[in-house]
Structure 1
Amino acid sequence: MSAPGGVIFWLLSVLCFLAGSWTATLSTGDLFSMLGPKNYTGAANFSTFLLDRSSGVLYLGARDAILAVDTKSLAPKSNPIVWDVPDEKKTSCVGKGKTEGDCRNYIRLLEFLGDGRIYACGTYAFDPQCAFLNMSSLTLEQGEDGGVRMETGKGKCPFEPSQHYTAVMAGGTLYTAATSNFLGTLFDISRATGPVLERIRTERSINWLSDPEFVSSAFIHQDELNNPTGEDDKIYFFFTEVAKEYDLYMKVKVPRVARVCKSDVGGMKTLQKRWTTFLKAQLVCEDRASGQRYNILTDVFTTQHTPGDPSSTHFYGLFTSQWEHEELSAVCVYSLADINRVMDGPFKELRKTCEINPEPVPTPRPGQCLNNALRAEGFESSLKLPDKVLTFMRDHPLMENSVIAAPLLVRRGITYTKVAVTRTAMGLDENQSVAATVLHLGTDRGELHRVAVVGQNTTLLHEMALFPTQEPVNNILLYKGQALVGSPLYLARVGAEGCSLYSSCEVCALARPLGCVWKDNACNPGLTGAIQGEDVENALRKCDRRVGLCSPAQRELRVSLGLRVLLPCVQVSPRSCTWEHPPHRHTRQHHSDLEVTVTEESLGTYTCHCQEGVQGGQKESHPCVRASYQLTLESPSVGGAVALSKGRHVVAVYIFCFSMGAVFGGFLLHFLFRRCKTRQHRPDHSLSSEKGRDLLGSSATPQSPSSASLLSEGFPITEKRTGNGTLLLTHHHNKTNGHPGSYGIGIRYDSNHGNNGYANNTNSNTALTSATSSVAEGLKLQVQEMPIDVRRGVERGRPEEGERGGEVDEEDEGLGEGLGGLEEELAGFTLFRLPAPLAQCEESSI
């Protein structure tokens, strides 16, 4: 019996492995190249990227190591550069209450020094240290003792590996925003290197920084040739903090942008070694139509819309919401001009009094950077500023106005972690051109999404799974038409620009706003670009498809009465979506999706209309049909919803694996029962058979859980919507005192049309979920009640505690109670039906 069972086990393992490998190949088919743990000697936890654009070498900060990778071949330049922590220091760190995993050296800072060296800083077992990496020899500089030459990294690098942190190098000087103590309770934005007298930081006041989570920083260097006013260089910091301007009972988080000036050296008496130019303003990312505001800033990408022009700098912010309980991401863009305009505006009063007249603003204006006008008045340095200016600056760091923007993109059911942006100038004709923006978005599940933004039109172009495991994307670098995407364990390189990225006609048609045209079985740049939605629909129809962008094919869903169906409608634009449905229905809208309780009256057509961007010369947004469903009633005999046609061969493999597993389980149970029966015939003089029957009662076969609970727990049908256009139905099977509760059967399907580069493993999950729910319905075992006379006979034959010589062992007694009725359950199930009734097993000696 064991030999056939072993063969079946290995056969199932091979088939399931091949099915999983085939599915993984589908999701990573567009991947150019990737490095993982097999390519490194134990290096992991990549958290920091630094790209040398002149040589194409990428430096990765990892745990206890620094790696150098050639981006051309995506191969390591050498072995990892080891920079670990001595054992005695690890022991001391663990003794202070930290975990052994955190008491390592996590490289959080890599910055070029400009002299052929890289400044590297790590957490170093909660005692931050910095070292110097020689780029030519790929070695760390050594000290006189032969060890790594190090200097303190406090204020330059966080103490804890997971703490929020940002840093930027400006003219050879390091500016950081990090925690500055072991407990992580003090926060500073500081000039961390340079002359000691010029190392300044923020004031330790909640009006300046209130429990911040630092996100990003940017150095804006003024062009000397195009700077007639002599404006100073500026450094901008982006973070989320707890707002102190709102008098509320709960903590409200707000996104901020702060600005300091490069030539600021602090005040003479007031604000000594403190910023005299620290100003901050609130960032607002809000959809005005719905009033939805996104207040948690998670990432910022800085780019110049006109290369070489600092005034054209824009900041693309990635947001989520403090008030939403589901996954949600939004992207807003802010211009440098808008931020500076707010910084030059009125100051906010933070006093909790009833004063009507605000404090007058002194002269010269507090917080402004040095320029030719201030120098002409004798203020060549911040040390010469009057005390009244510095006092006002100390008490008024926050601006009254906010930097406001509307979201370019809103995705529900998706959590984006990183954003990078490329821009393409697209000509509409000989005299007119328009800029197209492509957002490269990394998710918390290791996916890369591409979204095209042209004017007010937003189009989801591509969704690609990058890594074998669902690891969050923590770095995205764009270099020579490639995107270098990193996670804690992997580095992937994929194409970032060009129409050749889109290998199918459908995806090329969706990229029509970028000027892509499908010709000669390839996606090529067109002579002219187009942003009209009608052109996209015509391009889709030329792909020999029945669907257009705003005329999707209607999908028929066969459902059963009582089900709760969640109909998805992919909302890319932040504009609202509405549904057309039968008049007599039970529905509930979850943002853009619609939940329907299936009744006879709710059957019919459901259509989702979303407001899209302007078309041609129109001033108003127009409705676009994003999804259409036809709910029809299926036969009650069918145990679940019908699987969709796509991916049925994958479903067959999984069904075969499950069926063979069930057969193997049946044979295994039969083998165990035969062994139990054999043991029954062996004489046992320690206990009589009568006593054995009394102890076991009606339980004939030992089994831990009942078969009903085993089957119900073995088929969880719960699915989660990932936001990529999947249909979700939930399967609930609750029992209260033995009575069945409400139930639902789950379906998932991909609403994307054709193999257009989207994530394609949804169809496999669809069929698998449907088939599993059907099998779960068919495998319910009917538990039969024991006849009353038999139960009474057993109770009459059970001796009292005094006759049995003491209390019954609790474990044996509980086991006996949980075994009743198994023979009747198995007899009612064809797969486990045995040729003869099972004999009761005698109790072994105690």
Structure 2
Amino acid sequence: MESHILSLTVALLGFLSPCLTRLTPRVSFPMGSPGRHLTCFHSHNIRNTTTLLLSEDGDWLYVGARDAVLALDVSNKDQIHLRTKLDWSPSDKDLDQCSMKGKKMADCNNFIRVLQFLNTTHIYACGTFAFSPRCTYINSETVVMSFQSDEGRGRCPYDPYQRNTAVIVDEELYTGTVADYRGNRPVISRHLSEGNRVDLKLDDTLGWLEDPTFISSRFIPEEEKIYFFFSEVGTEYDFIDKFIVSRVSQICTSDVGGQRTLQRRWTTFAKAQLLCQADNELPYNVIQDIDTLPPADGAPADDTLFYGIFTSQWSVNSGRSAVCSFRLADIKSVFSGNYKVLNRDTLQWSARVQEKVANPGECGLHNASDNALRFVKENFLADDSVHSVGRSLTLVSADSYSHLTVQRVRAANSRHYIVLFLLTESGYLHKVVLLQSGAHIIEEVQVFEQPQPIKSLKLSIPKGMIYIGTSEGVVKIPTANCSFYWTCAQCVLSRDPFCGWDSVSRSCVGISDTPATLLDQDIDRGNVEEACNSVSLTDRTKFGPNKLPGASCPAGELVSVSLNEVVRLQCPAASRLSRQLWERPNSRLSSDLYLHLEDGSLSFVATPTTLGHYLCLSTENGYQQTMAIYHVKQKSSPIAQTPTSSAHPQTHPIPTTQTVTRPGSRLHTPVGTWPKKTKSRQGQTNPTLSVRGPQFSATQPSRNLTSWTKESGWRETEFQDGEPLLAVRGHCHLKEIVVLSVLLVLCLSLLITMGIYVIRPQCHSRTTPQADTPARDIRTPVDQGVLRENEFLSKCNRQASGHVSGLACNRTLTGSNSHLPNTPI
């Protein structure tokens, strides 16, 4: 009966769950993209570089790999150097014994799973060592073993694919792992204790842990407690088998066990459920990773936040990930409340009804009475659950996240923002800023292509770097990528708290470089007009690196087509959050004639009505900019085609469009152009498109450009040197007068010829004898009139075709059917 009730509840909650809105990264960088620099370390004989340990100054990265411990020099921003490699592999005898146990030879190596600083001179390391764990001490300077390895049972897992956690406090090792070969004895234990302190572990007979998967552990110095995060089977829910719940447990570092009861066992162990759930939704109950965000300067330790990734075992939330945050004050409140009691006869949990004898989880219970220790021994599960901050979800995504790290950043507007770095299962790193309006994904960077079974994430705040360890190698990524945004508008629209627009250097720079001259970024709203209202014309038209020589203004691309031909005009997107619009001067794009495609392009059939100019606009967060200008004209014969300008020929070709596509996604990441804004003579700001290619650098100054705006029609736009380009109007009309005169003469000659043709039969009929049979024209008068009209129009069209003016950049009219390069994303 209870199972049917649960199924009905799950179905109802799934129906009530709101539709998931997929968060779209604003900019995407595929692997190898020049817009996002990655530094990689890999070697053909070094694999499984997944355990990372970063020095306090951020100059050294110690890596636990397969059969080796590495010391990598990461002090250089753009390089990773292997300084020392310590080989630590099992012997042939150990490998044979592992194989005899039925294990694969590929899993019988020594996979380093514990790597922690013991003190200022030594590192403590543990490895699986052919399913027989071993631990050793390593000198952190020379990376040499100081002692022989000893047994690592209870300190390191046997299976290289089994998750574990470890932390060292005051040269004592606290671990969460399994203590047997089969993985059936989970333990939270302390090792390396000396003096009157003894090693401690959980009581195996009490069922304190139920098939857990350990995720992480954190030491809070102010509390003198270590918190362990894991998922396990929730035995308090008896209506379903193996219902998974996420847990937080605590132990006190001062615990030394009981004198008679709980000898060499924890007296301060307690656990509670972590609830990552929104109202009227099923909980995300399986924790994947968690990271700690220390409180802001001057704030109490109770403001410490724990950000975690959660997935769901329910099919309605399959494939989704949620991020929740938990406050230390809420965790302490739950542990100081009531506890559930377990009926040993029925194995049923229930809320406490009897009077408290002791406070479970309280430090100092090792000196308590036997009655108090028996009480905390049987009452270790908190009655209440730890709810997320605000009882809401920080982030919900259709991407399957596996690891995260978090940082608090002080932006250019002097406000603090929380930035999350989330690693997806598919190999992308998402950079997310938490705003008042919700989460905003600033960018995504592809860090590996093939799925990685084990991976890790490490953040270096002093160096501003993120390190990702995978089976293939180590990747280093800067947390900031400000130089990618080379205009004030793009710098503001990124809403990146690491970046700010410098009004002196006229560039987007890191907040730590020149904070005194940075403009207000407006991270929350991303309002370009307000944030960039004091930026000069030069700032607005500044180009980024590798810009195209001679392409200081966007050319109106000439597209020659034949009548009744299907035309498709491409519109590059400023970002994946922008929306493309199409406009024509003094005309409306009717849905009967034009088709707006999903990729932002415009398709139509070439007719006399659809020939002319087209303007592609990109709109993002209320800011509009021109991305492309096209002039569609009818093809003309080489004889009738006359040059429209005596300007110098174009010497710098537009680079080939380069488009990169994320696997499994319909969204493309174009590389090649970026927009900029120019200012008209009337003081209005008219958006234009600047073209750049990775293989070029700009040397020529800006030019004038004739562009079209909704308010003022076609106007000549002014640039720095004041040299005009070919304009749509205002040039000499001598050529047009000559052409019209020739056409007039031809039309008059044709009319005279037609008149003679009509009069001649009448004259001939008068002089022909009546006896003869007159010749008859088989055409009707209507057919003859149509024939004459067609002949007239055909001759006029042959003479008048090919004389349509267009836009030009640098005095050159583009005569190719190719489209403008796409904008880099």
SS for the counterpart of 2:211 is coil
Q: Secondary structure at the match of 1:286?
A: coil
2:423 to 432, 442, 452: 442
Q: What does the per-residue CA deviation read over 1:312-333, in whole Å, with 9 as the maximum and x for residues that have no partner?
A: 3221111111114642222111
The residue type paired with residue 137 of structure 1 is T
- Cα drift, residue 244 of structure 1: 0.8
Aligned match of 1:104: 109
In structure 2, do the counterparts of structure 1 residues 442 and 353 end up closer, same or farther at CA, with 3 Å as the change threshold? Answer: closer
SS in structure 1 at match of 2:407: strand
Tell me, what secondary structure is at the counterpart of 2:371? Answer: helix
Residues 358, 138 of structure 1: alpha-carbon distance in 2 compared, 3 angstrom cutoff: closer
In structure 2, what is the equivalent of residue 233 of structure 1?
224
Quote the offset at 1:478 in angstroms: 2.1
1:488 matches 2:471 = yes
Structure-to-structure mapping, 1:417-496, within 5 angstroms = 417-426=402-411, 428=413, 434-467=415-448, 469-471=450-452, 473-479=455-461, 480-496=463-479
User: Structure 2 matches for 1:220-299, cutoff 5 A?
Assistant: 220-222=220-222, 233-288=224-279, 290-299=280-289
Name the structure with the higher helix share: 1
Of 354, 365, 371, which residue of structure 2 is paired with 1:360?
354
Identity value in percent: 33
- One-letter amino acid of the counterpart of residue 336, structure 2: D
Structure 1 residue 528, shift from structure 2 partner: 3.3
Distance (Å, rounded) in 2 between the aligned partners of 1:139 and 1:489: 24
1:776-787 correspondence runs (5 A): none
Query: C-alpha distance in 1, partners of 2:383/2:241?
Result: 22
Aligned to 2:47, the other structure's residue is in SS state coil
CA RMSD of aligned residues (A): 4.0
Instruction: Classify the secondary structure of the residue corresponding to 1:37.
Output: coil
Native 8 Å contact 1:28 1:464 kept in 2: no
TM-score of the aligned structures, taking structure 1 as reference length: 0.57
* Greater RCO (Cα-Cα under 8 Å, separation 6 or more): 2
Residue 782 of structure 1 is matched in structure 2 by: none
Q: Give, in whole Å, the separation in 2 of the partners of 1:152 and 1:101.
A: 22
Q: Secondary structure at the match of 1:257?
A: strand
Contact 2:61 2:74 in 1 (8 A): yes
Q: CA offset at residue 476 of structure 1?
A: 2.5
- Does the residue aligned with 1:124 lie in a helix, a strand or coil? coil
Unaligned runs of 5+ in 1: 1-22, 143-148, 223-231, 371-381, 557-565, 569-611, 613-623, 626-646, 655-718, 727-747, 758-846
Structure 1 residue aligned with 2:667: 749
2:62 corresponds to: 59
SS in 2 for 1:300: strand
Paired AA for residue 508 in structure 1: C
**What does 1:271-670 align with in structure 2 at a 5 Å threshold?**
271-288=262-279, 290-306=280-296, 310-324=301-315, 326-351=318-343, 352=346, 358-370=352-364, 382-405=365-388, 406=391, 409-426=394-411, 428=413, 434-467=415-448, 469-471=450-452, 473-479=455-461, 480-497=463-480, 499-500=482-483, 502=485, 508-512=491-495, 514=497, 516-518=499-501, 520-523=506-509, 525=511, 526-533=518-525, 535=527, 552-553=579-580
* Unaligned ranges ≥5, structure 2: 1-28, 512-517, 542-571, 584-596, 600-620, 624-654, 676-825
The amino acid of 2:445's aligned partner reads M
Q: Look up the equivalent residue of 1:369 and give its one-letter code.
A: C
Aligned-partner residue type, residue 33 of structure 1 = T
Q: Which deviations, in whole Å up to 9, do the C-alpha atoms of 1:129-151 show, x marking residues without a partner?
A: 11111122221125xxxxxx111
Match of 2:73 among 70, 74, 77: 70
The offset of 1:527, in angstroms, is 3.9
In 1, the alpha carbon distance for the partners of 2:268 and 2:598 equals 52
1:253 CA drift (Å):
0.7
- How far has the Cα of 1:555 moved from its partner? 10
Q: Is the 8 A contact 2:426 2:449 kept in 1?
A: no
Report the counterpart of residue 663 of structure 1 in structure 2.
none
Q: Alignment partner of 1:104: what SS?
A: coil
Distance 1:529 1:302 in 2: 27
Distance 2:386 2:225 in 1: 18
Q: 2:340 touches 2:351 (CA, 8 Å); kept in 1?
A: no
Residue 613 (structure 2) aligns with: none
Deviation at residue 538 of structure 1 after TM alignment: 6.8
Contact 1:504/1:756, CA 8 A, preserved across alignment: no
8 Å CA contact 1:301–1:317 kept in 2: the answer is yes
Matched residue type, 1:327: G
Cα distance in 1 for partners of 2:135, 2:220 equals 25
* Cα distance in 2, alignment partners of residues 77 and 534 from structure 1: 42
Aligned to 1:12: none
CA deviation profile, 1:586-630 (whole Å, cap 9, x unmatched): xxxxxxxxxxxxxxxxxxxxxxxxxx9xxxxxxxxxxx99xxxxx
Q: What displacement does 1:548 show?
A: 9.9
- 1:120 aligned to 119, 125, 129, which one? 125
- 1:672 — aligned with what? none
**Structure 1 position 494, deviation (Å):** 1.6
Structure 1: which amino acid aligns with 2:408?
A: R
Cα distance change, pair 514–550 in 1 and its aligned pair in 2 (3 A): same
Mapped contact 2:225–2:250 kept (Cα < 8 A):
yes
Check the 8 A contact 2:58/2:74 in 1, yes or no: no
Residue 137 of structure 2: which of 132, 152, 157 is its match? 132
Once the two structures are TM-superposed, the CA of residue 269 in structure 1 deviates from its matched residue by 2.2
The answer on whether the counterparts of 2:248 and 2:273 sit within 8 Å (CA) in structure 1 is yes
CA gap 1:515/1:104 in 2 versus in 1, 3 angstroms: closer
Q: Match of 2:40, as an amino acid? A: M
Q: Secondary structure of the residue that 1:194 maps to in structure 2? A: coil
My pick for the range that moved more, 70-79 or 503-512, is: 503-512
Question: 1:119 offset after TM fit, Å?
Answer: 0.9
Q: How many residues are aligned here?
A: 532
Q: How does 1:180-191 map to 2 (within 5 A)?
A: 180-191=179-190
Kindly provide the amino acid, as one letter, of the partner of residue 123 in structure 2. I
Query: Residues of 2 paired with 1:753 and 1:138: CA distance?
Result: 44
Q: Provide closer, same or farther for how the CA distance between residues 504 and 170 of structure 1 changes in structure 2, counting only shifts above 3 A.
A: farther
Partner SS, residue 340 of structure 1: helix
